Amino acid sequence: MDASRTDELHGADSPSRSFSFGELVRRRPETITFLLLIAIVVGVAIANPAFLQPSTLIDIGRASVVMGLFALGVFIILAAGGIDVSFTAIAAFTMYSMTVLVQSYLPGLPIVVVILMATLGGVVLGIVNGLLVHHLKVPSLIVTIGTQYLFRGFLLSFIGTVWIMSLPPQMGAFGRMPLVQFQSANGALITLPFYFLVLPVAALVTWWILNRTLMGRAIFAVGGNADIASRLGYSLRTVHVFLFGYAGALAGLAGIIHVCANRQANPFDLVGTEINVIAAVVLGGARITGGTGTVLGTLLGVLLIVVLNSVLVMVGIPSTWQRLVVGSFILLAAAFFVTRQRKK
Amino acid sequence: MAAQTHTAQHSAALLELRNIQKRFGGVHALRGIDLTLQPGEAYHLLGENGCGKSTVIKIMSGAHAPTSGEIILDGETFSSLTPIQSLAAGIETVYQDLSLLPNLTVAENVALNEQLVNGNGRLLRLFDRKRLKETAERALAAAGLPTNRTFLNTIVSDLPLASRQLVAIARAIATRAKLVIMDEPTTSLTRREVDNLIRVVERLRSENVAVLFVTHKLDECYRIGGHAVVFRDGQCVAQGPIANYSKKELAELMTGRSIDAQRYRTGKPSDAELLKVDRLIADGVRDMSFSIKKGEILGITGLADSGRNELAMALTGVAPATSGVVTIEGKSVSVRSPAEAIERGIGYVPEDRLAEGLFLGKSIFENEIALIVSRLANSIGVVDREEGRTIATRLSEEMRLNTKNLDLPVGALSGGNQQRVLIGRWLSIAPKLLVLHGPTVGVDVGSKDTIYRVIQGLAEAGMGLIIVSDDLPELLQNADRILVMNGGRVVAEMDAEQATEDQLYKAMLVITTETV
């Protein structure tokens, strides 16, 4: 692999191609994600300068929050060599149950408590995943396929199937609460909502856990080789419970933000978008076999997919094409990462 | 029971095992082991595969709990240990698979465990990055490895195998180890790297650290010195200073039968040329020319970076040559892939049989017929299992497998038997040339004997064999000629009957290339 191949991957864009570029990509595969992102942004900005308007950027930021939170959870589990497909069901379960609870029984509950309870609910469901993965000794993919059905089935059978169109007022208010607000050229009011802050904070916390705590190293150790990690004295049970609990917390948080932002609670929502999130994480350079990846790469992967979603419309490509494009990107990036790793 | 030693009783024992029994289901793996380890002493745990060596070290390291018996550690009595207890007491194990985490850095692999053990396995806390670096630097220096930033931050999967071995040892000595257990530490090392390892062991002993080796390589045990502990069938059959035992005595103690270390090679090659290699060039191989006659056994050796491995892979199409001519029975042929090699009648028994050769979860039967499945299939692709079974039965008899049950998964067999299954599979296609890469790596004395007899039998039947190995006695005992490689070229050719280990070793080191 050499420079000519990288040219193919991101067209006219010319990266700093020193002799160690290949080494950089091998150690930090998210470089490719970043270059792809830049290439797309530059390409679209040339085709349609309207893209660089603040309103578009804020739309992209807003759309990244829920997917970004999900992706951080998927990434941390992938780092430990597992995979989770139940996070959307956890999010749907907690968001809908909390909305019903607040609407019907505790209308005065402050929004902070609502968010905390949703997060805690996510932790509990996540821990169920973690304990099942650990004690059944079944691959986490199978376990979380099972729990996805279980959580969702429980939600629809026992909690409700009614689409809640009018949220409790404190939740709606949280969704509208502005962080930054300004008037655009055409006079429309543009708002970056307060909840956007949750994503960078969650990303920082996740980065800190992974890189500064022994738990973080243990997660990567388990992702490298679980048998060896356990032989070295890392408790697999603690790691599994923490891991899925943390991913559950992120899912619970993402769920409640999703409700507040959309100002409605649809129990049929979210489930079905797992693959999109996993795709983002893999595009961010995390290997599906575990043990690698970075928080920054994960965020770049999410951004890449969100940008693609909004960009295709702006340059006049039907949104149905989005899947085609994302699919080709995943294959290209994966092929690139793999050839890079082979050439040692 | 043979000689017990009472030499080092003056100091308090480091670790004592009393009447340890271990059962796995119906298998009685350990039948009452008594063992006392003293500080600063070297021990060599010897025995055939399946004699209970690995079980004993797993009990010491806390990976297994004994069924009954006592473990006395620092004067305290335990019925079993946890990994953290064992590590906290200073028992460090370098497993055969090295137990390195491939995706973490050298520094993390070496020094993270110290912090894990100090925190009693608690994970919900920060780790000390400064201390991590300091510990890693100290341990790497003690193991004779570089301590610069680049090396500390290298991902372990990017390191060559020999350096990984030393990194694993560095981890073992990073903490205040009192006992370092090394499970077959030298199988992947060349002689020069073994010298380095022996220096590390001497330094450890001078610091009053005990070292327990589990190994099949008796020569190295004699060089290191210390005590021999011989196991057979889950019992300790002899203990004492290793210098008191001859190689022959140890081999007999291990197997319970007499093994002669004589030259196995008795036959003579025919005059007909089988294979001629002319100016072969491949990645790591520069300009190799040689030939083999029918019924000849050619030994090829050299240091790990000499190109011997690459030559084996080039000849068998695993990593095809870039130029050169290969002639088989007078016809020039191309060998661009393993499939093409098989078509030309070249078989390859790789060094890493677990990763490259065997389907561990599949039965002996399925492994044996893997190469001939298409031949056993009829026109619509249904495999004739009866015919396959007949062939597999014949092959396993020829290979003297010690089980009759062909439905046993290969993963359940000992190393020696696995190797025999792999060689047996190649016999199913009756190759003209068989390339054996490290045929007895990690194989016990008894199995070695069987494998050598099989190899000789094949040569007798007219097959040409190439043995690529760094086990010099193995080549001297089995080959007709030995080629010594260095820097991708042949630097010496010797008649195996006349050559000595010393001559071969000197030839290997002619031009000294870089270490590690």
Sort out which chain B residues have CB atoms less than 8 A from A239's CB and list them: 123
Which of B103, B131, B183 is the mutation pick for testing A, counting most A CBs within 10 A? B103
Domains delineated in chain B: 102-175 (no CATH), 272-345+431-516 (3.40.50.300), 356-428 (no CATH)
- Cβ of residue B121 closer than 8 Å to a chain A Cβ: yes
pLDDT at A1 over 80: no
Shortest CA gap A142–chain B (Å): 21
Name the band, by pLDDT with cuts 50, 70 and 90, for residue B5: very low
What would the pLDDT profile of B22-51 be if each residue is shown by its tens digit? 887 667 788 899 999 999 999 999 887 668
Contact A271, A89 (CB under 8 A): yes
Q: Give B312 to chain A, closest Cα distance, Å.
A: 20
Q: What pLDDT was estimated at residue A344?
A: 41
Residue B96 has pLDDT above 80, yes or no: no
Size of interface A-B (CB pairs under 8 A): 77
Split at pLDDT 50, 70, 90, the class of B6 is very low
Instruction: Check pLDDT > 60 for residue A2.
Output: no
Mean pLDDT, residues B96-110 taken together: 89
Task: Verify whether the Cβ–Cβ distance A232 to B113 is below 8 Å.
Answer: yes
Percent of chain A with pLDDT over 70: 92
Q: Specify the pLDDT at position B258.
A: 62
- Map out the domains of chain A as residue ranges: 1-48+277-344, 56-272
Task: Tell me the C-alpha distance between B72 and B81, whole Å.
Answer: 10
pLDDT of B511 higher than 80 = no
- B105: closest CA among A12, A328, A220, A258? A220
Binned at pLDDT 50, 70 and 90, residue B219 comes out as confident
Average pLDDT along chain B: 84
* pLDDT tens digits along B253-294: 887 766 555 778 888 888 888 999 999 888 888 888 999 999
Which residues in A168-194 are b (16+ Cβ under 10 Å) and which e?
A: bebbbebbeeeeeeeeeeeeeebbbbe
**pLDDT of residue A230 exceeding 90:** no
Give the residue from chain A lying closest to B82, CA to CA: A233
With beta carbons under 8 A apart, name residues in chain B contacting A242: 123-124
Q: What is the pLDDT of residue B505?
A: 77
Partners of A193 in the beta sheet? A178
Where residue B159 falls among pLDDT bands split at 50, 70, 90?
A: confident
DSSP3 helix / strand / coil % (chain A, rounded to 5): 75, 5, 25
Whether A14 has a pLDDT exceeding 70, the answer reads no
- With CA atoms as reference, the chain A residue closest to B156 would be A224
Under 8 Å between Cβ of B319 and B310: yes
Instruction: Give the residue numbers in A contacting B (CB under 8 Å), as ranges.
Output: 27, 212-215, 217-218, 220-221, 223-225, 228-235, 238-239, 242, 291-292, 344
Comparing CA positions, the residue from A139, A144, A153 lying closest to residue A74 is: A144
What pLDDT, in 10s, does the model give residues B493-508? 999 888 887 788 778 7
Percent of chain B with pLDDT over 70: 93
pLDDT of the residue at B26:
66
Q: Quote the CA–CA distance of B236 and B49 in Å, as a whole number.
A: 14
pLDDT(B9) > 50: no
Strand B68-73 with B15-24, pairing: antiparallel
Q: Which residues of A touch B131 (CB under 8 A)?
A: none
B126 vs A: CB within 8 A: yes
Does B202 have pLDDT greater than 80? yes
Q: What is the pLDDT of residues A128-145, one digit of tens each?
A: 999 999 999 899 999 999
Query: Could you tell me if B425 and B368 are in contact, meaning their C-beta atoms sit under 8 angstroms apart?
Result: yes
pLDDT at B260: 57
- Interface contact flag, B113 A215, Cβ < 8 Å: no
> Residue B189 corresponds to which amino acid?
L
